[in-house]
A and B are shown apart, each in its own frame.
Chain A
Amino acid sequence: MQWDIVIGLEIHVQLATQTKIFSGSSTAYGAEPNTQANAVDLAMPGTLPVPNEQAFRYAVMFGLATNAEIGRRSVFERKNYFYPDLPKGYQTTQLAQPIVGPGYVDIDLADGSTKRVRIHHAHLEEDAGKSLHEDYHGMSGIDLNRAGTPLIEVVTEPDMNSADEAVAFAKKLHSLVTSLGICDGDMSQGSMRFDVNISLKPKGSDTLGTRTETKNLNSFRFMEQAIAHEVERQMDILEDGGRIVQETRLYNGDRDESRSMRTKEEANDYRYFPCPDLLPVEIDDAFIEDARARLPELPDARKARFKEQYGLNDYDAGVLSGDAKLSAFFEETVEHGKDAKLAANWIQGEFSARLNADEKSVAEAPISGAQLGALVTRIADNTVSSAGAKKVFEALWSGDNDDVDAIIDAKGLKQVSDTGALEAMVDEVLAGMPDQVAQYQNEEDPKKRKKMLGGFMGPLMKASKGQGNPKLFNEILVRKLGG
């Protein structure tokens, strides 16, 4: 039987505010446990929440960037459940009156088409703390540093039909929130976390099947794997004539396994009701217009500009415009490097490869766009060969030297492009290789001749101590050896 896959996403986005959503504690990641939790975060008796205006501003910016209606009256509710990392015994969140109403995001698909994914709503809420189950001699540790970090939870309509589409949407959302500057986008620190709702239905059917929710996926790769895993699991059950149980599942990416966390029957009754400690927040036109004025260039507009301004192809423009920091790095490189295509190639090639190898983000790269731009300039004006440029790049990356021209000089990587000197070298080498010259000249097949040309390059590079411009050597050789 053929099946349609139906996917909806719930995405928790940590907002990059300095302080928590209802207290003045810092939201910085990585501090000693419980050093960023004050009396409010600890839910000490009598303490009260005070809303953080910046969280509202960021949520409104998100709404504007996703073509959404802004909720003019935003109401916080209490979602009641007991858990040790939930200090108040309820999460302060939004339900009936969220800050961001229906909107949409367009995603690019692999076949070059675009697809619109609708957003049902996005609401503001507080993050919980963390329970630590290791290293406490059989006890659990509670770290409340994260408790109260502002989140927006983005809930989509079930508009995606494959893992690829879901990942494309997730990446687009990542690109949006980092470009907006409202989230640092660091998935390894939990800045974005995905819950995936999946159901199958017979191909072409109008009726949605029973769905499962797979919670807390924190990388695009795990999300892709988890969807593939869950689709296969559901398909196996359905094709064996079974029924899908509506449930929440947990996926273990390291083992590619999932297990049921709780079924619908076991679900908590959260007993939502409006939080009496927080008055409804009225969002007025001035606040929205202020947020609109703060919107930076968004990824779609930037992609179009990169194609127009730098003559990049669709693929390169897409990659380089997707991540705000990478975009900025690219533009700095071009500013100092002039040749945009060459800059694009180096950033997507050597630069990205080194970031991946060192597990670093663009922000953590040890070289600047200005430095890479200087290197691109020297490649473009033939001062260094591409092989030499890689050596310069290594030196920059390792921090041995931060000046491109100084590295070229110090390492003797400057190409000889003086045609007179190069011609003399060619004459000398050819004179020493009469048999090969004859062989070349007797060969009729142009492909084989081209290959034989390579046999002269080794000795030529040796003669020039590696500094001869290979392109010029090639031209001179062809001319001297005759058509």
Chain B
Amino acid sequence: MHNKSVAELSRELESGKISSVELTQQFLDRLKHEDGKYNSFITISDEQALAEAKAADEMRAAGKATVWTGVPFAHKDIFCTNGIRTTCGSRMLENFVPPYDATVTANFKAAGAVCLGKTNMDEFAMGSSNESSFYGAVTNPWGMASGDKRVPGGSSGGSAAAVAARLVPAATGTDTGGSIRQPAALCGITGLKPTYGRVSRYGMIAFASSLDQGGPMARTAEDAALMMNVMAGHDPKDSTCIDREVPDYTATLNEPLKGLKIGLPKEYFSDQLSPAMEEQVRNAIREYEKLGATVKEVSLPNAKLAIAAYYVIAPAEASANLSRFDGVRYGYRCDDPKDLMDMYTRTRAEGFGNEVKRRILVGTYALSAGYFDAYYLKAQKVRRLIQQDFINAFKEVDVLMSPVSPTPAFRQGEKNTDPVSMYLEDVFTIAINLAGIPAMSVPAGFVDGLPVGLQIIGDYFSEARLLNAAHQFQQVTDWHQREPQ
């Protein structure tokens, strides 16, 4: 069962061959047995999972089953889960049990899905290797056969590793600068960052509010579409969430791609990309040509400014978003504070890890009197230029294609002493967040036995088209079905 997709498991449950309780128990047993190798989960919530499975079986018996009813999956530990510890990968929230559900959490519950637990992540979603988690690094299932411990990418590294290792068929992720797409690429799975405002952020612990977006991580585009059907939609609790009709994302998966106009941003095929990676990406694009698509080069002239702008805007927002972690109301508080200032400083010094502190410092600096115009305002202007680049590109083509990451999965410890080289991991993904448009990562080949991702970038609210393009590719390739040994 563990090799089956969400769509397949749903059919198994529908046929009555297996109950959700049985299926959930099988997945839990395997998860507990296998995850020691990967450390992809922070919390396994078996009691709640079995209770949800039982409820799902009753829902089915009552004739109220949805596609998701009884299907196991997992949440990135950034989505608040009522009654289940939610840590965001931080010591700061080691003891935090939310008394409410994120809207995404509530949506999956309403559909009858069974959450097995909470997946590991970079602390407060800040990182590209999952090494900044207070709960330990995650090991990529790929590369282990050769004795390597490689990173799964980040920040949704736990979700990506768990899906790649067949511990769950699907998991939620969040993407602020590439945190769904880069780990999906490095772990050989399918991930989608939706348009900003498509999925509610309520109850999703904020890193950078104007960039954060939740999305699906699964092995197939079809499963990602099934997840989007549950995740997308207006939420009155999030005033940045857009009130716009949600299509059935599975309905258009089988549309033919003939005539699809693909643009290749020349800035994304630069010398930052290794020749071996580029070859895989270009091979994938040739598959699209075989499917009837046309390809042309386009330009995103301001793309090179994206990392600089991002590392002003995201830390600036984070510096304020993380102020609430002050030891006063919930979460970590230092022992025996002498006074208020001592409580603040030690709580935050002990509760946050180095990468989080680095970004709070950078963001605080960027917003300070005398620096605001030169950093924050300038970065916002750059952001509008980048957005305009994409708007211009989509006047010429339907989708853009590019690599997701400059290299395949690197070794643990290889980059975590050099923040800038780590930040460059997101060189092809970050501009998409600044523009607020959707993009996918689709398995597209291997280099040295490690997965390579193809990025498909679309115009605002074009998720259905991206999923369609990914699904058609997965009908003629089997990269997404390869299993790590």
- A residues sitting closer than 8 Å to B (CB atoms) are 39, 42-51, 78, 80, 82, 84, 87-90, 142, 269, 271-273, 276-279
Contact = CB atoms under 8 A, between A and B. Distances in A.
B376 interface: yes
A84 B326 CA distance: 8
Interface in B64-122: 78-80, 86, 88, 93, 96, 98-100, 102
A84 B340 contact: yes
A463 B390 CA distance: 103
A90 B367 CA distance: 13
A89 B320 contact: yes
Given A45-B96, A90-B323, A50 B209 contact: no
- A-B pairs, top 9 by smallest CB distance, nearest first, are A89-B323, A276-B209, A271-B367, A276-B210, A46-B203, A43-B324, A45-B205, A46-B205, A269-B369
B100 A89 contact: no
Contacts, number: 100
Given A278-B239, A279-B239, A273 B316 contact: yes
B148 interface: no
A43 B325 CA distance: 9
A39 B203 CA distance: 10
Given A39-B99, A271-B368, A279-B240, A46 B206 contact: yes
B240 to A, nearest CB: 6
A148 B203 CA distance: 19
B435 to A, nearest CB: 15
A46 B329 CA distance: 15
A46 B202 contact: yes
Nearest to A23: B237
Nearest to A271: B367
B320 A80 contact: yes
Interface residues of B, number: 43
Contacts of B287: none
Contacts of A278: 239-240
A269 B319 CA distance: 14
B458 to A, nearest CB: 23
A269 B364 CA distance: 10
Nearest to A50: B239
B414 interface: no
Nearest to A80: B320
B372 A46 contact: no
A48 B239 contact: yes
Contact of B364 (A48, A271, A276): A271
Contact of B93 (A45, A48, A142): A45
A278 B240 CA distance: 7
B269 interface: no
A277 B196 CA distance: 12
Q: Is the interface of B mostly helix, strand, loop or mixed?
A: loop
Contacts of A272: 367
A271 B318 CA distance: 13
A43 B208 CA distance: 16
B236 A50 contact: yes
A84 B102 CA distance: 25
Nearest to B322: A89
B344 interface: yes
A44 B239 contact: no
Contacts of A51: 239
Contacts of B93: 45
Given A80-B367, A90-B323, A273 B96 contact: no
Interface string B231-244: 00000111110000
A273 B80 CA distance: 27
A90 B320 contact: yes
Contacts of B100: 39, 44, 47
A90 B205 CA distance: 17
13 contacts: A44-B80, A45-B98, A46-B80, A46-B102, A46-B206, A48-B202, A50-B238, A89-B320, A271-B364, A273-B320, A276-B210, A277-B206, A277-B239
A277 B209 contact: yes
Nearest to B367: A271
A42 B80 CA distance: 15
Contacts of A78: 320
B60 interface: no
Contacts of B326: 82, 84, 89
Interface string B173-206: 0000000000000000000000000000111111
A278 B317 CA distance: 13
A129 B236 CA distance: 25
A183 to B, nearest CB: 25
A77 B323 CA distance: 15
B328 interface: yes
Contacts of B240: 48, 276-279
Contacts of B238: 48, 50
A90 B325 CA distance: 12
Contacts of A269: 368-369
Nearest to B331: A45
A45 B376 contact: no
Interface in B362-403: 364, 367-369, 372, 376
A287 to B, nearest CB: 17
Nearest to A88: B324
Given A51-B239, A87-B324, A45 B88 contact: yes
Contacts of A89: 320, 323-324, 326
Interface string B398-433: 000000000000000000000000000000000000
Contacts of B99: 39, 44
A45 B369 contact: no
A78 B80 CA distance: 24
A276 B317 contact: yes
Q: Which of A48, A82, A84, A87 has most B Cβ within 10 Å? A: A48
Nearest to A24: B237
A45 B324 contact: yes
Contacts of B316: 273
Given A48-B201, A273-B372, A273-B376, A87 B239 contact: no
